[in-house]
């Protein structure tokens, strides 16, 4: 049995099939972890969702910002943009069922895996983990979001979670502010500014970042403990490099012309498939 953590899929169905051949994926015994952003930008969002749902027992998947955007467009609370490529999902006869399934996916996964160097705990989210959050904080916030997303007021929830503010817990004036901040930590974070405040404006490379901004994974993270590894996607420009032993970036920008990456958790071996033409 092996566990493979796979980067942002974003509709790259053909590349996923090639990658699964490369790792000799065996649905009888292997598990696939997906760090979110299953859809959008790439060509085959619908095929990706149908494929993953068809063997969901083998998959551990977290939601990303593009998945939430799709849910919001489907609910009619957000507009499609010209660069969105998930019309195939919206037009599918399966769309209602697929949206229900998407909503049921969590914002974090955490599991103990028996690796070559002993038991390790792996924690995966789409973008990252708030610097002040413990594991208990992560679980509490993530589970609260999932409950609301799957509740009877899920449309209202989707109306409230988009936006760049607040950028720090001290600025939260309402429950909705807190939910929006949690969602942004989990699905959109890249850089943190002074006092650990979120900066969702700057998206450029680290070497060009204003000096008051640091990548979230370079801050002093409460979540980091011995025998624990954090996995995330979302940030294709990192190309898999964080220079942090216990924090691994999985998104290598397949939808942007680069490649799809799978990390075998047991031995940290990396497998890739280049973007097809």
Q: Is there binding between residue 65 and Mn ion (CB under 5 A)?
A: yes
Q: What are phi and psi of 34, to 5 degrees?
A: -120, 130
Residue nearer to Mn ion on the CB measure, 7 or 166: 7
Exposure of 221 in the CB half-sphere (CA atoms within 13 A)? 23
If one asks whether residue 67 binds Mn ion (CB under 5 A), the answer comes out as no
234 binds Mn ion (CB under 5 A): yes
Contacts of Mn ion in 245-274 (CB under 5 A): none
| Residue closer to Mn ion (CB basis): 25 or 73 | 73
Cβ proximity to Mn ion, 77 vs 237, nearer residue: 237
Residues 83-122 that bind Mn ion (CB under 5 A): none
DSSP string, 10-64: TT-HHHHHHHHHHTT--TTT-EEEE-S--SSSSS-HHHHHHHHHHTGGGEEE---
CB-based closest residue to Mn ion: 234
Size of the residue set binding Mn ion (CB under 5 A):
4
Q: Which residues of 161-171 are buried (b: 16+ CB within 10 A; e: fewer)?
A: bbeeebbbeee
| Closest CB 185 distance from Mn ion, rounded Å | 13
CA distance 138 to 98: 26
CA atoms within 13 A on the CB side of 161: 25
Min dist. Cβ of residue 170 to Mn ion (A): 26
Helices 175-187 and 135-149, packing angle to 10 deg:
110
Q: For residues 3 and 65, which CB has a smaller minimum distance to Mn ion in the complex?
A: 65
Tell me the closest approach of the beta carbon of residue 65 to Mn ion, in angstroms: 4
Sheet with 198-199, edge to edge strand ranges: 198-199, 191-192, 214-215
Could you identify the residue written with the tokens 């979670």?
161
Q: Are 2 and 264 in contact (CB under 8 A)?
A: yes
Stretch of 65-73, 84-92, 110-118, 204-212 lying at the interface with Mn ion (CB under 5 A): 65-73
The least distance separating Mn ion from the CB of residue 154, rounded to whole angstroms, comes to 21
Among 7, 9, 12, 37, binds Mn ion (CB under 5 A): 37
Q: Shortest distance, CB of residue 209 to Mn ion, whole angstroms?
A: 18
Span interacting with Mn ion, options 34-42, 150-158, 168-176, 177-185, rule CB under 5 A: 34-42
Q: Which of 123, 129, 154 lies closest to 215, judged by CA?
A: 129
Contacts to Mn ion by CB under 5 A: 37, 64-65, 234
């Amino acid at each position: 049995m092996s566990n493979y953590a796979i980067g942002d899929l974003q509709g790259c169905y053909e590349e996923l099939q090639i990658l699964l051949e490369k790792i000799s994926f065996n649905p009888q015994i292997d598990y696939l972890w997906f760090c979110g952003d299953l859809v959008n930008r790439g060509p085959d969002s619908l095929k990706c969702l149908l494929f993953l749902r068809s063997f969901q027992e083998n998959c551990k998947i977290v939601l990303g910002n593009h998945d939430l955007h799709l849910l919001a467009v489907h609910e009619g609370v957000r507009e499609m943009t010209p660069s969105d490529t998930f019309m195939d999902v919206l037009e599918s006869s399966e769309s209602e069922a697929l949206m229900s399934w998407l909503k049921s996916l969590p914002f974090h996964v955490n599991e103990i895996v028996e690796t070559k160097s002993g038991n390790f705990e792996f924690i995966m989210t789409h973008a990252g983990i708030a610097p002040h959050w413990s594991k208990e904080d992560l679980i509490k916030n993530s589970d609260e979001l999932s409950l609301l997303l799957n509740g009877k007021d899920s449309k209202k929830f989707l109306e409230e979670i988009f936006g760049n503010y607040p950028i720090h817990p001290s600025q939260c004036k309402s429950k909705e502010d807190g939910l929006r901040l949690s969602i942004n930590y989990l699905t959109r974070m890249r850089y943190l500014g002074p006092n650990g405040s979120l900066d969702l404006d700057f998206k450029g490379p680290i070497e060009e970042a204003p000096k008051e901004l640091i990548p979230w994974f370079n801050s002093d993270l409460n979540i980091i403990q011995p025998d624990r590894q954090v996995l995330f996607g979302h940030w294709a420009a990192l190309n898999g490099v964080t220079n942090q032993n216990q924090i691994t970036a999985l998104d290598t920008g397949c939808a942007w012309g680069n490649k799809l990456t799978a990390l075998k958790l047991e031995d940290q071996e990396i497998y890739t498939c280049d973007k097809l033409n």
